Structure 1
Amino acid sequence: MESYQQLYQRVVERKGGEQVVEGLLSKPLNTKQLKRVSADQWLEEFTRKIFQSGFYWQVIDNKWPGFREVFWDFNVARLLQMPAEMLEQKATDERIVRNFNKVKTIPLNAAMIHFHQQDHGQGFSDFIADHPPERIIELWAHLKKHGARLGGNTGVYALRMLGKDTFILSRDVEAHLRGHGIIDTGIQSQKAQRDAQNFFNDLQQQSGRSLQELSQLVAFSAGDNHAGLDVK
């Protein structure tokens, strides 16, 4: 298996130097910072990623001020008191992307966040913050099981956006993992996720870097993202 140093050196060569690479990397929030993320922020980001899934992200971002107006800035407590008929009305509002199946996830995920303390003995932000990165796929599974439409990469991208340390099984990351024989099953299978977790845990032990940085490095090492090309 390729070592961290081999991986890093290849990225440096592809991107045009160590300084360039380091400038491209971003880091997650620390535990204390994550615990300050509010329930409303979690619900908003889950909803944004649900609507972006299978859609042009920029279209959703452009309409997001309308989403915030329609859904009261994603106030969890207020949304949980909303009657079903009002939700149906909001789903037809022209300020949002009118997809009732996705709109229905908002009160469901609000309930997951709000009742986490009651169901699991710990507030939702504390739960996210305290979950060990070396078992991050267990957190993915929790969101998929207890949330609405948070499976696949949807919940994972929300975690990344709000600062939780996680790797992401993007197309470039998948290409690297398959190319090096680390995974050989469907990318969303439990086996593939376990193998990916073990791979990133090993890189973390070698480098001391976060999963987020390592995930970015792996992505930069594969695909069409050489020096001079815009990489998102």
Structure 2
Amino acid sequence: MSLNIGCKVVVESYQSLYQRAAERKGSIEALEKLLSKPRTNDELMAIDDSAWLEEFTRKIFQSGFYWSVVDAKWAGFQEVFWHFSIEKLLLMPPEMLERKASDPRIIRNFKKVKTIRDNCLMIHDIAQKHGSFSTFIANFPSEDIVQLWNELKIHGARLGGNTGAYALRAMGKDTFVLSRDIEGYCRACDVIDGGLHSKRSHLAIQAMFLQFQEQSGRSYQELSQLVAYSFGDNIVGWQN
């Protein structure tokens, strides 16, 4: 069943979704060039745990700030926080964190700076149980990815909403993300009718992506991009 934009219908087939996305992007070849794949489990496990803390922090600061401002300050963040070394940050006393939060080399937002310490502790605690935080992420089943989002929200600091999911995507964990195009698609298809970030909505959207995955064999990351390319504003070359 093809999607009737503006009408609430049953979720369409993967083939229908793919064909529409290809038509909107000009051709199958053009569409395929826009799709990207997640890292393998081995590649994820090779990531140093400090890189996760850095990406979580980057996404937390990007929320509410122009990304260009965050990017311009990022070398300062790396200097001030020892390149996000888990071992060094664990030894940092609270008063030192307060001093670092006022350093002009970074964006001086104490509430967000405090998440560095909190998320460092989360990563350390999980690493103690699983060998490394990267191993925990790599081995977490992608078919239940919204539960991983929830783990980050519950045990981390400011990693709810889209923040945790976008950090996972940036690091290469296979996940869909809830962009405005994907939300619009899910509402048009009557997949969700309540709040985007409710447990019910998350599970319904995950079930939709599982359906597409069963039909296509593609990763969540590719399918997330395909849904976005098939719906909403058609901007040539835009990647989700």
TM-score normalised according to structure 1 size: 0.96
3-state secondary structure, aligned to 1:137:
helix
3-state secondary structure, aligned to 1:104:
helix
The equivalent of 1:64 in structure 2 is 74
The equivalent of 2:175 in structure 1 is 166
Matched, 1:140 2:178: no
Distance in 2 separating the partners of 1:121 and 1:163:
19
Q: How does 1:49-198 map to 2 (within 5 A)?
A: 49-118=59-128, 120-198=129-207
Distance in 2 separating the partners of 1:225 and 1:101:
37
The equivalent of 1:31 in structure 2 is 41
Contact 1:35–1:126 at 8 Å: present in 2 too? yes
Give the counterpart letter for 2:205 in structure 1: A
Distance in 2 separating the partners of 1:139 and 1:2:
27
Contact 2:49–2:132 at 8 Å: present in 1 too? no
Distance in 2 separating the partners of 1:231 and 1:75:
31
TM-score normalised according to structure 2 size: 0.93
Distance in 2 separating the partners of 1:230 and 1:6:
21
How many residues matched? 230
Contact 2:130–2:136 at 8 Å: present in 1 too? no
RMSD value, Cα? 1.1
Give the counterpart letter for 1:108 in structure 2: D
- Cα distance per residue 1:133-186 (max 9 Å; x no partner): 110001000000000110011011110001000000110100000011111110
Contact 1:48–1:60 at 8 Å: present in 2 too? yes
Matched, 1:223 2:232: yes
Q: 1:89 to 1:158 in 2, by over 3 A?
A: same
Give the counterpart letter for 2:82 in structure 1: W
3-state secondary structure, aligned to 2:178:
coil
- 1:46 equivalent among 47, 56, 63: 56
Residue 32 of structure 1 deviates from its aligned partner by 0.5
Q: Unaligned regions of 5+ residues in structure 2, if any?
A: 1-10
Residue 123 of structure 1 deviates from its aligned partner by 2.5
Distance in 2 separating the partners of 1:115 and 1:180:
40
Q: Unaligned regions of 5+ residues in structure 1, if any?
A: none
Give the counterpart letter for 2:114 in structure 1: K
Residue 103 of structure 1 deviates from its aligned partner by 0.2
The equivalent of 1:9 in structure 2 is 19
Residue 69 of structure 1 deviates from its aligned partner by 0.6
Residue 229 of structure 1 deviates from its aligned partner by 5.8
- Cα distance per residue 1:10-52 (max 9 Å; x no partner): 0011011001100000000000000011110000000000000
3-state secondary structure, aligned to 2:158:
coil
Moved over 2 A (4+): 120-123, 228-232
Matched, 1:22 2:32: yes
Distance in 1 separating the partners of 2:191 and 2:88:
46
